[in-house]
Structure 1
Amino acid sequence: MTLVPLDGSPAGTPHGSAGADGGPAAGTAGAPSGPAATTTSPPVASPGHSGTGNRRSDAPEPHAPEPDPSPSAPSSPAPTSPAAPADLAWSAPVREATDKRWCEKVTVGFRNTGGTAVRSGTITLGTHIIGALGVDWATITSTRPLPVPVAPGSRGSGTWTVCVDDWRVPLGMHVETRIVTVDWS
């Protein structure tokens, strides 16, 4: 390969210099000078690139573009946070007498303050057997299904007829449903 300066003079000859005899400088004897003396190297192809042609020796080597250092925004939408679980609150029982002293109607209000619907659950009612003098003789529990679904942010209620065995409530006694516990999912 022959290096050719940009001014066209042969390699090894300083710009505008000649040998002692006025001819070409030593080391270039017999080499033509002038514009016809310029030699070109054969076409060079870069690895990984196609094409022909000469590259200037002072031209930078081709390289892959550098990645942009600035962070880019994600192309997908921001993830959404999962909805909050159901959170059910309930009221104290509202009682209503029936024609049988061992039964009563019980209404309980519900409110879902969570982010998802209540889809299933049970309510457990604790019914006290109260004697004629106000003595609490026993507590009997009964479990019923919840009135579902209860949507997020909504209210609802359920009414159940709650009875105990008639022999547990002799004449002069009555029942009072006072305890409410709820289990939901």
Structure 2
Amino acid sequence: MLKVGKPERAAADDRWCEKVTVAFRNTGGAPVRSGTVTFATHVIGALGVDWATIESTEKLPAPIGAGQKKEKTWSVCVDAWRVPLGMHIETRDVSVKWK
């Protein structure tokens, strides 16, 4: 079983990007050998309105041995034109598929 931590967000150089750190803990008895991480990034307007959710996928930092924990930071970006001045992004949700 692979447990996924809450995404920790940090600002990046551009308003359409942010650095997202996620911790993974393998609580099962076998190693996790491969998989994908899907980020759900929300485009937020100046008044707090959630305008869109954009998904992006990266490779899981595998292998993760039985009982081990791994942490990785990704630069998560959306197309610049989706984030006009006064808007920002927030990567709120992370899902994982693994083998």
User: Structure 1-normalised TM-score?
Assistant: 0.53
The aligned counterpart of 1:120 is 34
Gaps (5+ residues) in structure 2?
A: none
Identity of aligned residues (%): 65
Question: Quick one: higher RCO (CA 8 Å, sep 6+), 1 or 2?
Answer: 2
- Secondary structure of the structure 1 residue equivalent to 2:19: strand
The aligned counterpart of 2:43 is 129
Question: What's the Cα RMSD here?
Answer: 0.4
Gaps (5+ residues) in structure 1?
A: 1-86
The aligned counterpart of 2:20 is 106
CA distance in 1, matches of 2:5, 2:30: 20
- Provide runs of 4+ in structure 1 moved above 6 Å: none
CA distance in 1, matches of 2:24, 2:39: 14
The aligned counterpart of 1:153 is 67
Aligned partner of 1:98: which letter? Answer: A
User: Structure 2-normalised TM-score?
Assistant: 0.99
Alignment of 1:42-57 (within 5 A): none
User: How far did 1:167 drift?
Assistant: 0.6
Larger Rg: 1
User: How far did 1:158 drift?
Assistant: 1.3
What is the CA deviation profile of residues 127-185 of structure 1, one whole-angstrom value per residue up to 9, with x for unaligned ones? 00000000000000000000011000010111110100101100000000001000000
- Secondary structure of the structure 2 residue equivalent to 1:107: strand
Aligned partner of 2:98: which letter? Answer: W
Structure having the larger proportion of residues in strand: 2
The aligned counterpart of 1:163 is 77
